[in-house]
Structure 1
């Protein structure tokens, strides 16, 4: 009897231990579906990640590599080449809601706030449970990190009705509250005017901080908040069931006008875990295979200058165990 078979015979209640002996880190395909725009406030960047059997990965918001060389941030919106001026996008539907703000959790480490917006582009109502409290009209979940003697700082936002996430590290002192840049989706990607993830319900656990998302099409994602610091905000994600190759499991959404007017202007990636890093300007990327990929900027941008890079890494198949 082989060692693997012996382990199966001895571990019938934990077969995943046997599978972990042969599994290897995975790679994913990143496809660039970006379209050109002159509007700095439009998400024209769309980068889709797909791969067969992906069960776990990490997504991080990291400080941009040029941060030490800039003293001031540029955060003002620029609608100069847009066909809207800060309100709803003209092509979006608009559904009315009664606006409100509710504190769903206020503990020693975290404050979690739910926002209902006066209008939103989708009518979907997603049940959200935090502890014993349930709400069904939350458009925006905010996670604030708390430190003694300092004001809470927002590090994570999540939109239950369309599945979008945004992350940022805790800002360095000279950058105030810091700014978000790119957003992303995780789960079964669908198209409803733009990429979305349809979520059936969300449960938020506070000790440790984690989200459980159940998808409308079946399956779930367990999202553990692994770190919130000035270096990174990191999520460890487990998908069940694992992914299929023919459907993206994550999409990064962002904006690019020029290299110095973008929230993402370059990709850096490893083709395999042992490969050297490669970097390529966003417009010249078509499709890459990656063991990890960082969506970021190599030169300071005049749009959200301190906004973070977003990195996906740690891709694992179902049998590999973290």
Structure 2
């Protein structure tokens, strides 16, 4: 019997195969990238590789220790392409072996000539204790020993912002500090006391006159408190008696846990507290503009390895996976750095529990 099937008829499956063949032939005439995009559609965007990490230059500007000088460790981070980066303060690896914290504010042979009240490293230690304990009754009164004056700027059960006037601070600068719509003049330092869970502590100190920050996570059990240590600078870093950032105004948004920094030479930064627990404190920074000067720095004291805020540096570059590691005083300048760690491998005076610092997440606009 003759077939009733039209001579040009193709079974459905074969027809689909033919259409795919025609499509593939058409795609083969495209450039490889265009063909891949056409075939994969939105799946390509979902599997696209992350952008390469942005590397920065780290310079070691440290000088030999001196009883009469300021912090002698100085590391600067430089890249005009950086718009965002992250700083983490992490408890040192040995912190859980500690049962108590006791600071000894003196270095080998230096006694107390480097008056703690006049230095950013020592100026806040006694005041921090008062803020951590929530003591607000002494607002407006000067401390008999140091002349420091304390004022509560904002207070809720889980957040307190405290301002200080420090007559012996090493530098004077008029930097208004604003919480919401309320601005306060004449402060030298601002502290943040936070109690996100069942433990509270002063976790951030910001010195307005020189733009330096000191950071620490919440104290882990069984420690009632831990120490601040090295100073961190965020913004266009310049040099006077020591490294500093010149601020024009600072604002703080309590709900967002975010600082807005306005710099004296122009430009702004938003510094937000994005993580806090008994292991780590994290700050994320975003700049309005790139900088030809260093965009961040670290200041610390070093006498010998047993008496230092920072003793070791480790770093990773974009071109190599293994870490480089060196004593902080002999650390060579490094380029293309995507991660920088500065800390201690063993307890050292004066601040046994002071945190390690990690700089990472460098990114452009």
**Residue 252 of structure 1: how far off its partner (Å):** 0.2
Q: 1:307 aligns with which of 336, 351, 354?
A: 354
Report if the CA contact (8 A) 2:70-2:242 is conserved: no
Kindly report which structure 2 residues correspond to 1:1-322, keeping only aligned pairs within 5 A, or say none: 24-37=52-65, 39=67, 42-78=70-106, 81-82=109-110, 83-88=113-118, 99-147=148-196, 152-244=200-292, 247-272=293-318, 275-289=321-335, 290-318=337-365
Q: Normalising by the residue count of structure 1, what TM-score does the alignment of the two structures yield?
A: 0.83
CA deviation digits over 1:101-153, x for unaligned, max 9?
22111124311111112333323111111012111111111001125665x41
Identify the structure with the greater strand proportion.
1
256 and 104 in structure 1: CA distance in 2 versus 1, 3 angstrom threshold: same
Higher fraction of helix: 2
> TM-score scaled to structure 2, two decimals?
0.74
Question: CA-to-partner distance for each residue in 1:162-221, whole Å, 9 max, x for gaps?
Answer: 101000011123332211010011111112221111111111001110000010100011
Number of positions where the alignment pairs a residue of Structure 1 with one of Structure 2: 292
- Does the Cα contact within 8 Å between 1:211 and 1:224 map onto a contact in 2? yes
Structure 1 window deviating more from structure 2 (271-280 vs 132-141): it is 271-280
Largest Rg, 1 or 2:
2
Report the equivalent of 2:130: none
- More displaced stretch, 20-29 vs 211-220: 20-29
Distance 1:38-1:81 versus aligned 2 partners, 3 A rule? farther
How far apart are residue 278 of structure 1 and its match? 2.6
Give the structure, 1 or 2, with the largest relative contact order (CA under 8 Å, sep 6 or more). 1
- Alpha-carbon shift at residue 249 of structure 1 (Å): 0.9
Other-structure match for 2:12: none
Shift of 1:36: 1.5
